[in-house]
Amino acid sequence: EDQVTQSPEALRLQEGESSSLNCSYTVSGLRGLFWYRQDPGKGPEFLFTLYSAGEEKEKERLKATLTKKESFLHITAPKPEDSATYLCAVQGGNTGFQKLVFGTGTRLLVSP
């Protein structure tokens, strides 16, 4: 069964203090790994899709990387507006529709 584990559950940073969030996964045939940002009371907002080990994608202060067992979301010089819950999800299988399996998220708080 596909599984996603995110760590830490919660992370508090000072503004400008860089760090990384971890997403460990087990899946039979990775089709895609997805990162979302979720603000309180809102729906998940799509950030990145990664498809193969070694792939990296960047957006502003965020950089997502992928290995065969985990993905990291690196946050460089974070600002208070980066505070949110970050969700990781994987989709496995080689054919047909396969549901996304979500982790429970990392709650990030960036203090000024």
Partner 1 sequence: DADVTQTPRNRITKTGKRIMLECSQTKGHDRMYWYRQDPGLGLRLIYYSFDVKDINKGEISDGYSVSRQAQAKFSLSLESAIPNQTALYFCATSDSLSDTQYFGPGTRLTVL
Q: Does 104 bind partner 1 (CB under 8 A)?
A: yes
Question: How many other CB atoms are there within 10 angstroms of residue 64's CB atom?
Answer: 24
Kindly give the pairing relationship between strand 106-111 and strand 10-14: parallel
Cα–Cα distances in angstroms (integers) from residue 39 to residues 24, 75, 86, in the given order: 22, 16, 9
Interface with partner 1 by CB under 8 A: which range of 12-20, 60-68, 76-84, 97-105?
97-105
- Looking at the Cβ atoms of 48 and 78, the one nearer to partner 1 is 48
Residues 9-48 that bind partner 1 (CB under 8 A): 31-32, 34, 36, 41-46
d(CA 66, CA 57): 9
| Residue of 13, 30, 64, 87 that binds partner 1 (CB under 8 A) | 87
Place of tokens 């996603």: 4
Given the rule CB under 8 A, which residues bind partner 1? 4, 31-32, 34, 36, 41-46, 49, 87, 89, 91, 97, 99-100, 102-105
